[in-house]
Chains A and B, each alone.
Chain A
Amino acid sequence: MESQIAEIVQHTGGVIGNAWLMIAFPLVGAFILLVFNRFTDRWGHLLGVAMSLASFVVAVLAFFELLGFGEEERRRAVHLYEFIPGMVDMGLLIDPLSICFALLITGVGSLIHIYSIGYMAHDEHRRRFFSYLNLFVAAMLLLVLADNYVGLFIGWEGVGLASYLLIGFWQFKPSAATAAKKAFVVNRVGDFGLLVGMFIIWTTFGTLTFQGLGEQITPGQTNGTMLAIGLLLLLGACGKSAQLPLQSWLLDAMEGPTPVSALIHAATMVTAGVYLVVRSGAFFFPEGSGAALAVAIVGAATLLAGAIIGCAKDDIKKGLAGSTMSQIGYMMLGAGLGPAGYAFAIGHLITHGFFKADMFLGAGSVMHGMNDEVDMRKYGGLRKYMPITFATFFIGYLAIIGFPLLSGYFTKDGIIETAVHHQPVLGWLAVLGAGITGFYMSRMIFMTFFGEKRWADDAHPHESPAVMTVPLMILSLGSIVLGGYLILSNRLLLFLAPAVGRPEALPEFHFTSTPGLATLALVAVGAIIAWMKYGRVEVPSVQPRGSFLTTFARRDLYGDALNESLFMRPGQWLTRIAVFFDNRGIDGLVNGLAAGIGGSSGRLRRLQTGFARTYALSIFIGAALLTGALLLVGNI
């Protein structure tokens, strides 16, 4: 069995002892911007950036302080205050897992804050935008830093709120408002699972803290109750991370401004489900358990579904959203493989955070220069007009398809190799998914940056200002080097081991393994097919009808249609019936009874119109008389 994860030690003082500052900075930022409102319009965005950067600085300092401890002492708990007396205290857990997330959230988050200065420059509500971004960062940090499930859940729904506000940032568009609401409601279905999971955890173990569970659960232990908890937590993870069957909200979420798609719906929030599974891994998803297998199956199914959806989208952001679903599917698959997969899942989560944010922001840069056009059929040949955007996007592209030596190559390949080893069927599906990724991402590149121009005459594509391109460059740098740095010589795995456990045998990275070579071959095939269909020949500027399969993918595999016929329409009928029953059934019965008691329905009608008050008064007097009479009788 895998080696046990390290004990948690209480910690006071130092940067870690004050880690709550990480959450406090952006929270204060959001508060100031919301409360002082218009007065902060002129400098609000700068405050937002400053608060996010301050949080990043604290995270970096805490990271180095953590490195100063011996490996087995790198789990530091910080007690904050008594939250629900007798049930749970609010506290933070600074350990290798949470600090990885904190660095990603504040680092990539700060870059996206900076980028948004330029992207949102012409929006009259830019200040409000930054307040929501700050709120998001604070909530996301609480989610990953909390040392218990309740704190995690507060952050969990906090990021859901920020996501709701930001998807609906342009709420005057009905489509944006609908998408925001849908995202929240679908997430709540997942939250139901998380909630009930917490009920069972508390009832079974009498604690909701990670430390408390660690003390009670021996690694590898499974039974029916723990399987149930695992599946319920997985339901929560599916909602937040847009995994099947709760995936439908993510594509609609692209209604939000593009930096939001980059930060929340690609780099950080949607990966919270992976965090939840890995954080609970030692308790409820031990290697080889049913719950872990369910996680891996959900991941494999979603990585294929997302990739297929990505193939059919002409909207550049929706194409990227399908890809996000798919990539998180890879992470989930990795997270369902026990400690052997965790490091790769988290590694892929980090590199994906970079290259996907890079591409989303690149897409934003394209839209910025193209009058907010998102239809790739109306792009074409843009590499000449936006060289920096093109270069950075291209690096992100190479990273995601797993081009050798770039970030995605190492992390995705790690997941695939481990999966092939542990769950061969799922592993080979992941190989197939990589091939499809090669196709749809190449398609995107060809449609956007190559070929002839297809845009309308009033579009004047131009490169974006430095405030937007510099974050792109930094993100693409991460897309190049991070993967190799984290995976080679097992740096990330060894760093994470005290928090998530260490596999029996350390994996070695082979550049010429069978699954690895098969992946590369399939990716190449996918890219070539894309070139034949979208590079060699001119892309029609109107969407062709397409086969049954294309329609299937365009309609998001009929996910919405399914939800509509299974839940929405029956729900509407149920609501109508209930309202009718309430008005006619119960109320009618009561009115009828009252009329019956009163002698005739005529009296009731009078009650409702003219003599109501007299009638009521008479009852009241009657009651008073009765009271007096009863008292008198008692006295005799």
Chain B
Amino acid sequence: MSPWLPILMAVPVVGAIVVALLPKGSDKLAKQVALLFSLLTLVLTGVVAAGFKPGGERFQFKAEFDWIPSFGVKFGVGVDGVALVLIALSVVLVPIVVLASWHDADGVKTADGTLITPKRSVKTYFSLLLVLETMMIGVFAATDIFLFYVFFEAMLIPMYFMIGSYGGAQRSYAAVKFLLYSLFGGLLMLVAVIGLYYVAGKQTFMFPELVGAIQDPAMQKWLFGGFFIAFAIKAPLWPVHTWLPDAAAQAPAGAAVLLVGVLDKVGTFGMLRFCLELFPDAAKAFTMPIIVLAVISIVYGAIVAIGQTDMKRLIAYTSISHFGFIVMGVFAMSSVAQSGAALYMVNHGFATGALFLAAGFLIARRGSPFIGDYGGVQKVAPLLAGFFLVAGLAGLSLPGLSSFVSEFMVMIGTYSSQAHGSGALTVAAIVSAVAVILAAVYILWMVQRTMNGPTAEPVKAFKDLNAREVWVLAPLVALIIGFGFFPKPLLDVINPSVQQTLTNVQVPTSTIAEKGTGQ
């Protein structure tokens, strides 16, 4: 029994309460307190990560308390490698988002200068952020499937209010669409969770005990379906993706970062852990259709991204393409591809986070999310343009930046996967590699239209990034470059946990070991 994970989850929520209890008008103090608590969480996570033993027991820092004893529901937490790196991603992003959102809760300025006032107070925004942080940690740390489900659903609430109360002109529509889609998926998952409980008949929701509990292939398929649809909506996968561009475009930039950077990862994380390990036969049976959907997401997301006129929507569509890569990696059933997919989840959080935030800073200066309203920013704000470019290059997976390593691993792992008679996966990998070209088009065309060329009239008055904004983007860029050349610290944590997953799915895991001897 380790107290660390409950402590980690408690710190932000305590912070949220403190922020909420602050007297009216102490907005600045609220922001500072929120920043302090999020930094404290980051430090504590660092302590946990330092104590994690890769290759040791699968779930570490375990803690279990009885919650609803009559159903065997427990408050069970513990982290494996994949969960750990995703928690690390979350707690790195939250302080950055707090700092980036310093003025987001003050209202959104539109291009014609009018202000869309938020429906709720500034301190509520930061309080919600901290509540969300607790839930993000909880959802990745939960080893009890019921607890996971609770966090999975509860996370919607703070995000719903952050979009619906602090977002742009279409915020209500976007927030409701987001909520409806997610709830629909959540309901399916709930049914599957309960079904799992009864069919397994083990009087427990604890994940480790439920692995291998469902043997009936037909039952596996039904339950797999419930989980998978929920996760596919969350991720989101084509064709259930249309809520994401709306939500991301209407959300304040900081909220969009957490939505796309972390919340959506719960979907792909869920596929990797629950869909695969609980229902291995179903996962194998459904692999090909899922790979097809993933490849469609990859190419379709990229093509639609090229055609976007709104920066935030564009970034959202690039993410749909990237989630396609993650899903493809998860279901390619090879250790290289799955490690790549897990790494992709982290790297995508940094890359898309940086891009959303840089775009957010740009939009805050002009009030318009439309690419056509900009031009020539580089001349007046070279720092902003520089960070925007680096973030964009991470988005197109430039080698030397972190996203390349994961995309490369996913593609090469898919190509070389022996899991399904390699033909179809080979084709999938080759088709997905076309996105490498499309990514250059959507990113560099956006960069050209916003940053290059003659400086547009309203852009001339732009100020370059201030110190706060530099401090928001610099750590992300440092991480992107650092993990681009040294992905080993992350992979060393991820690899054993992926091996475990593949063992539970009964896929031969020798791929990486055998191939590794060749060098």
Contact = CB atoms under 8 A, between A and B. Distances in A.
A185 B444 contact: yes
Interface in A591-636: 594, 607-609, 612-613, 615-616, 619-620, 623, 626-627, 630-631, 634-635
B436 interface: yes
Contacts of B433: 192, 195-196, 199
Interface string A172-201: 111011101100110011011001101110
A46 interface: no
Contact of A620 (B183, B308, B422, B486): B183
A185 B429 CA distance: 20
The list of the 9 closest CB pairs from A to B, nearest first, reads A207-B518, A177-B452, A206-B518, A206-B515, A579-B307, A203-B416, A199-B415, A575-B307, A154-B399
Contacts of A626: 187, 190
Contacts of B197: 634
B194 interface: yes
B445 A181 contact: yes
Contact of A192 (B156, B172, B436): B436
A209 to B, nearest CB: 5
B409 interface: yes
Interface in B279-329: 300, 303-304, 306-308
Contacts of B512: 86-87
A578 B172 contact: no
B453 A172 contact: yes
25 contacts: A84-B405, A84-B488, A86-B336, A87-B512, A90-B485, A154-B400, A154-B404, A172-B376, A172-B379, A181-B448, A188-B440, A191-B437, A192-B436, A202-B416, A206-B516, A206-B517, A211-B519, A212-B519, A578-B304, A607-B176, A612-B173, A616-B180, A623-B186, A626-B190, A635-B70
Nearest to A125: B382
A330 to B, nearest CB: 29
B71 A634 contact: yes
Interface in A67-113: 81-90
Nearest to A635: B70
Contact of B453 (A82, A153, A171, A184): A171
A320 B415 CA distance: 41
Interface string B426-451: 00011001101100110011011001
A142 to B, nearest CB: 9
A203 B415 contact: yes
Given A90-B485, A211-B519, 19 more contacts: A82-B488, A83-B487, A89-B519, A157-B400, A164-B444, A172-B454, A178-B448, A181-B444, A185-B440, A185-B444, A192-B437, A199-B412, A575-B306, A578-B304, A579-B304, A582-B300, A613-B176, A619-B179, A631-B71
B198 interface: yes
Interface in A288-310: none
A629 to B, nearest CB: 11
A534 B219 CA distance: 84
B261 interface: no
A198 B190 contact: no
A560 interface: no
A158 B519 contact: no
Nearest to A157: B399
A198 B187 CA distance: 43
B179 A575 contact: no
B180 A171 contact: no
Contacts of B448: 177-178, 180-181
A161 interface: yes
B409 A84 contact: yes
Contact of B398 (A82, A161, A634): A161
